[in-house]
A and B are shown apart, each in its own frame.
Chain A
Amino acid sequence: MHSLEPELRSLHAEGVIDDATAARALVRDRGQVFSLHTELRVTLYAGVLLVMAGVGIVLARNLERIGPIAIVLAVALVAVACAIPAVRAKLAGRALTVTSDYLLLLAVLLGSANLAYAERQFTLLGPWWSWHLLLLAVVHAAVAYAFGSPLVLAASLTALAGWFGVGGTLGDALQFSYTSPELGARALVCAAVIAAWRYVDRRTRPDTRFSDVFDHFATNLAFWGTITWCLEWPWLAAGLPLLAALSYASVLRGLNAGREAFLVYGVGYAAIGLCAAVLPRIHGITPSLGFALVVVSVAAATLWQLRRRLRAPVP
């Protein structure tokens, strides 16, 4: 165990840091105040993950034994029970704690699983089943706004992306099939919708906590869509300029807001997109690898320089 107390005292004595900063830092360094917030989040996330995995198997395996109506009712009941702490906090005018936030997420996910199960069993909307995802996105968004939960908003945006037919990973966007450009277009439209939603949210609620969630979703979806366009001609003609514009916007956002993640997005996705666009058109392994090496080297140098310009201090 190391202690930084001598260094902190020295900084305080020289007047580099004020009394309050020094006191806070010393208390934390000595362990006089110790937060279990991280451990709590990990535990709660693991709990939600395990329960959802278990419920998924229950829904798949125990249909005959229990019956679909009973399953739907039981899961709905558990979902409502999970939402109680959040409802109580809301009624008392308190902000959500980390616990009630995760329980609310569990409630929402149970609701989703229940809806999926009910749709499978009863085909409530028949051939219009895919609209359930939009319905879920709307319901989750309503819950997120009612309780001020960024976690539930993430679930809502995921459902929205699912309704647009966009998977949750870059690998989904990079699938080499004839539907790729269309998939890219859908991802871009979805990103535009989320960006518009963010704009309205920001305008109507200046103290919103949702902007970060919107930003991450919109940025990733936009880049995935653009990279998908970079794979095929003639979409490439639009994909490359769009990639440049998005990278510029992302880096600008990172520099202005002091957010390192957006610098990484801007530089990283630009490198991936450039390689995706150019490498299939270079013949021979050595020139291909040489081009990739140049791109990687330039990306690393650019990211390093940009990170140095961030407001958040680094050594």
Chain B
Amino acid sequence: MSRWRPTPAEERWLEVVSALGAALPRDALVTRTGGWRSTGLLARVALFVLGFVAAALLFGILGLGNRINLLVAGLIAVLVAEWLTVRKRLHASGIEEGLGVAGFLLIGAWITTLIPPGADLLGAPPHTLVLVAAAGAAGFRRLNSLVTTCAAILFVHWVGSTTVAHSLDQAIGRGVTALALGCALAALALALGARAFRRPSHDRMLDWLVITLPIAAYAQHATWNFVAGGIVDVAAPSGRLATSVLLLALGTALLVAGLRRRRHAPLLGFMGCVACLAVELRLNTALATETWLVLCGLAALFTGVALARYLRQPRNGLTSAALTDRDDPLDLLQTAGAALLAQRTAQDLSSPEPTFTPGGGRFGGGGASGSY
């Protein structure tokens, strides 16, 4: 039993409680979970934000002008987070995570103020690397996969800005070095994911890397293309080919691993690769944007319809049906997503610009627009 964080055995029991939900009698496993206390997903997110904001406010109260206040505010935030962990035995409850992460970042920001101006590491400012290290340390301390993933993405971004990467980019295409690194790290995470880890949180860290790294690295690559002043003709043909090959190879590996291991992360990572390849298709062809959008949308819809029909009856254990009727945060996201789509259409109606205006009317009834 550890005072500082759950042991692997305790963390596994916490995972069991989370997986079984209401099927488990309340407080049935208190002794086995070591008395660690957690919360639900939505509350965790809200508490994380509140903890992070609290640390930022603390820095503001101490005074934004003095650099040493970064360190003081950071230390206070980290100490409060540790107190909540050790005394209150909070784990993955949001508040201690928000405070801890913000504290580490504030300390990291203070360290960056000690770096002499103009210093560089491999041709890139080392400040980003310090923040990457701070975020990574916070993520590992809190066993928080979101924070470790953000650190990894920031690291890939930093590598892409080094002179080494720029030299390589000149040979293989703009931004391809960072993309290759992102894909390589995702592939490494995929390979490590095959191992049996004692801590479920380590699995989650790898899962998040597998899902996000390809698309995050590609987004950085795509930004390069847009920033350089064009959508189609920026990257060298070799760069475009390398990008497509990388995404195709990684996507295939993710699909195969996802189906073999029966894990969602590789499959979601595969979907990200497909989305990136669709963007590459747009960049490499003269398709009109609207044609490309409609074609991709139809392809996604047809795939969804075909998959749903094929898996209506479970095949080899695979099914398209939901396995649980538990309250799912995805339902809330789905409702919000539908509202968002509908709102875009509603906005079209809210500000009409008719090509001809027989009545010449500007605003009628209904109180619809909020401006007169």
Contact = CB atoms under 8 A, between A and B. Distances in A.
B304 A47 contact: yes
Contacts, number: 372
Nearest to B18: A315
B332 A44 contact: no
Interface of B: 12-29, 33, 36-43, 46-47, 50-51, 53-54, 57-58, 60-61, 91, 93, 95, 193-200, 203, 261-264, 267-268, 271, 275, 289-301, 303-305, 307-309, 311, 314, 317-323, 327, 330-332, 334-335, 337-350, 352-359, 361-372
Interface in A110-142: 112-113, 115-117, 119-123, 125-134, 136, 140
Interface-central residue, B197, B305, B307, by most chain A CB under 10 Å: B305
Contacts of B352: 116, 119-120, 123, 129
A126 B346 contact: no
Given A133-B366, A260-B327, 4 more contacts: A50-B297, A58-B294, A183-B370, A312-B327
A4 interface: yes
B341 A155 contact: yes
Q: Which 5 A-B pairs have the closest CB atoms?
A: A127-B361, A31-B262, A50-B297, A54-B293, A47-B300
Given A17-B20, A300-B54, A109 B290 contact: no
B203 A293 contact: no
B334 A45 contact: yes
Contacts of A117: 348
A48 to B, nearest CB: 7
A106 B311 CA distance: 22
A246 interface: no
A208 interface: no
A253 interface: no
Given A38-B330, A158-B346, A164-B367, A121 B354 contact: yes
A112 B327 CA distance: 30
Given A130-B364, A179-B370, A303-B46, A34 B319 contact: yes
Given A3-B196, A264-B46, A267-B46, A43 B303 contact: yes
Given A120-B352, A260-B42, A314-B39, A165 B370 contact: yes
- The A contact surface, by secondary structure, is helix
A162 interface: yes
A25 B51 CA distance: 34
A159 B346 contact: yes
A123 B196 contact: no
A211 interface: no
- The B contact surface, by secondary structure, is helix
A47 B144 CA distance: 31
28 contacts: A1-B195, A4-B15, A7-B12, A16-B25, A25-B19, A25-B20, A25-B23, A37-B320, A39-B264, A39-B271, A40-B320, A41-B330, A50-B300, A54-B290, A58-B294, A113-B348, A115-B349, A127-B362, A128-B364, A130-B367, A151-B334, A159-B346, A179-B370, A293-B61, A300-B54, A303-B43, A304-B95, A312-B21
Nearest to B27: A313
B197 A2 contact: yes
Contact of B40 (A2, A56, A307): A307
A35 B197 CA distance: 23
Given A2-B197, A179-B371, A7 B262 contact: no
Interface stretch (A96-104, A195-203, A237-245): A96-104
Contacts of A259: 327
Contacts of A165: 366-370
A131 B290 contact: no
A156 B167 CA distance: 54
Given A312-B21, A313-B24, A36 B345 contact: no
A168 B339 contact: yes
Contact of A2 (B203, B267, B355): B203
A85 B301 CA distance: 13
Contacts of B300: 43-44, 46-47, 50
A2 B196 contact: yes
B364 A131 contact: yes
Nearest to B263: A1
Nearest to B305: A99
Contacts of B50: 271, 296, 299-300, 303
A183 B369 CA distance: 10
Given A17-B20, A39-B264, A314 B38 contact: yes
A263 interface: yes
Contacts of A46: 275, 297, 300
A102 B298 CA distance: 12
A154 interface: yes
